[in-house]
Amino acid sequence: MAEISFPLPDLGEGLIEATVLDWLVSPGDQVERNQPLVELETSKSALELPSPQAGKVIRIHGAPGETINVGEPLVVFEVPDNTAGIVGTVPQDDAPKRRVRLSAVLDED
Amino acid sequence: MSESTTAILEAAAATETQSVKLSMQQALNRALDEILSNDPKTVVFGEDCGQLGGVFRITDGLQAKHGGSRVFDTPLAESGILGMSVGLAMAGFHPIPEVQFDGFAYPAINQIVCQIARMNYRSRGTLPMPITLRVPSFGGIRAPEHHGESLEALFAHVPGLKVVSPSDPHDAYHLLKYAASRPDPVIFMEPKSRYWQKGDVGTSDGGTLTGARVVRPGRHLTLVAWGAMVARCLQVAELAAEDGIDVEVLDLRWLKPIDAEALATSVGKTRRAVVVHEAPLTSGLGAEVAQLITQSCFDTLKAPVERVTGFDVPYPSGDLEDEYIPNIDRILLGIQRVLEYRRG
């Protein structure tokens, strides 16, 4: 298993921080990609932040009311070693399937 | 290096085993970690290679361990990544840049072909380019356009470049360390669809890193492949054995220079050959392989060398890639055509 940290992104244009309003997940929760993680408030708006990936939440940073700077850790995920990259999927090694049969008379000269 | 990889390696060291089970991701990560530790002139960089640890986690943990001046992120500009590599190499560094995906190499073709490949020649040997360009390559992960291409023939055609592609974690680890130790530029094509499968990584390279490798011996026919197609050809060889056909699988590994001697030895024995690659057919590396085989084995060949390849179309979107990449049946049909061939 590997740990992946999700730092607070810039939620607007040039915002430097956000305040936690309410956590929608807890440590130990398995989340899917795009599942809402947390309600945040910035100087521009309040919003729900979707998860950038699937994984198990193992740490959350910032209690409701606390302010976090952009770039500081927000959520730490635990993911299996065979997690796909940001693009594409992990190919499965299926049992090989065939329709073609070989037939040959091999002259061993 | 991720904590899990470190734990595996420490466990292996504690029990003094000669090999550890790693995925290709972990094997490449370990190789880069050791290269950075052993050679203070090495720098590793590319899009998302630093803080994120790479989109495929190949550089995971390396910035934290070796510092932001040796492992770092670049802007989204491949021409800049490779152009900077030229300058770093001129200044005595050993750059290991990454182009995040095969299809992103096109904007850097000028830097690769016109500068990196010929600087040593142009400077009469005074400005070598010890650059190892890592390129996650080939298809098979259901990714969008520019994320599944096979550029080996393009690179192999350029004098001054060496091209290599590992097919398993053991070779990935040892070939990357070897490539990084070379004074010449090496294009290191990582088969991204094989990043996650685990295999034994031995501590010894076996002393055979410069040529091809027989991964399965056989008597009747040689399948020549590289990268992700090696694993598929091994599956085909097992299926062919059910029909009484004993197939040898030759992993070419080096695509420039090609190990012509290994081709001659293998096909000299089996007298039949099929070359398999994901790249399109026309002017693909299969043509070069077929010619080398014909040159050395013309008198004993039982049939013309067959090619089973991708099609002469742009690499398709992920939903269609199973129709494009040579599958088991297409490779078996290629074998059947060779087996059926009769002279005259």
CA distance A56 to A77: 5
At A108 the pLDDT is 60
Cis check for the bond before B257: say yes or no (omega within 30 of 0): yes
Chain B contact for A106 (CB, 8 A cutoff): yes
Q: How far from each other are the two terminal CA atoms of chain B, in whole angstroms?
A: 60
pLDDT surpassing 50 at residue B249: yes
The nearest alpha carbon in chain A to B221 belongs to A106
**How far is the alpha carbon of B149 from chain A, nearest alpha carbon, in Å?**
14
Average pLDDT of the residues in A34-38 = 93
Inter-residue contact B234 to B249 (CB < 8 Å): yes
Domain B213-340 CATH class label? alpha beta
CB contact under 8 A, B142 and A97: no
Domains of chain A by residue range: 2-79
pLDDT surpassing 70 at residue B9: no
CATH 3.40.50.970 residue ranges of chain B are 3-202
Top-confidence residue, B14 or B97? B97
Residue A2's nearest CA partner among A86, A79, A59 is A79
The nearest alpha carbon in chain B to A93 belongs to B197
The nearest alpha carbon in chain A to B53 belongs to A4
CB contact under 8 A, B2 and A81: yes
Catalytic residues of B: 147
CA distance B61 to B234: 34
pLDDT in tens, A12-29: 888 899 999 999 999 999
At B1 the pLDDT is 47
CA distance B86 to B94: 10
CA distance B34 to B29: 9
| Residue B60: how many other CB atoms lie within 10 Å | 24
CB contact under 8 A, A87 and B147: yes
Query: The complex's ipTM?
Result: 0.78
Chain mean pLDDT for chain A: 88
SS (H, E, C) chain B: CCHHHHHHHHHHHHHCCCEEEEEHHHHHHHHHHHHHHHCCCEEEEECCCCCCCCCCCCCCCHHHHHCCCCEEECCCCHHHHHHHHHHHHHCCCEEEEECCCHHHCHHHHHHHHHHHCCHHHHCCCCCCCCCEEEEEECCCCCCCCCCCCCCHHHHHCCCCCEEECCCCHHHHHHHHHHHHCCCCCEEEEEEHHHCCCEEEEECCCCCCCCCCEEEECCCCEEEEECCCHHHHHHHHHHHHHHCCCCEEEEECCEEECCCHHHHHHHHHHHCCEEEEEEEECCCCHHHHHHHHHHHHHCCCCCCCCEEEEECCCCCCCHHHHHHHCCCHHHHHHHHHHHHHCCCC
Inter-residue contact B235 to B328 (CB < 8 Å): yes
CA distance B168 to B227: 8
The nearest alpha carbon in chain A to B220 belongs to A106
CATH 3.40.50.920 residue ranges of chain B are 213-340
Pick one of 2.30.30.40, 3.30.70.2700, 2.20.25.10, 2.40.50.100 as the CATH number of A2-79: 2.40.50.100
pLDDT in tens, B28-44: 999 999 999 999 999 99
pLDDT in tens, B143-166: 988 999 999 999 999 999 999 999
CA distance B294 to B55: 42
At A12 the pLDDT is 81
pLDDT surpassing 80 at residue B268: yes
CB contact under 8 A, A86 and B3: no
Facing residue for A100 by CB, picked from B2, B60, B329: B329
pLDDT in tens, B43-78: 999 999 998 899 999 999 999 999 999 999 999 999
Residue to substitute from A3, A89, A92, A98, interface B, most B β-carbons within 10 A: A98
Facing residue for A98 by CB, picked from B55, B197, B332: B332
pLDDT surpassing 90 at residue B2: no
CB contact under 8 A, B340 and A90: no
Chain A contact for B329 (CB, 8 A cutoff): yes
Residue type, B253: R
CB contact under 8 A, B4 and A90: no
Q: Does domain B3-202 have CATH number 3.40.50.970?
A: yes
Sheet-wide strand order for A2-7:
A2-7, A73-79, A55-60, A30-31
Least-confidence region, from A54-68, B103-117, B280-294: A54-68
Chain A contact for B220 (CB, 8 A cutoff): yes
CA distance B80 to B111: 9
pLDDT in tens, B95-137: 999 999 999 999 999 999 999 999 999 999 999 999 999 999 9
Those residues whose C-beta lies under 8 Å from the C-beta of residue B64, and which sit 6 or more positions away, are: none
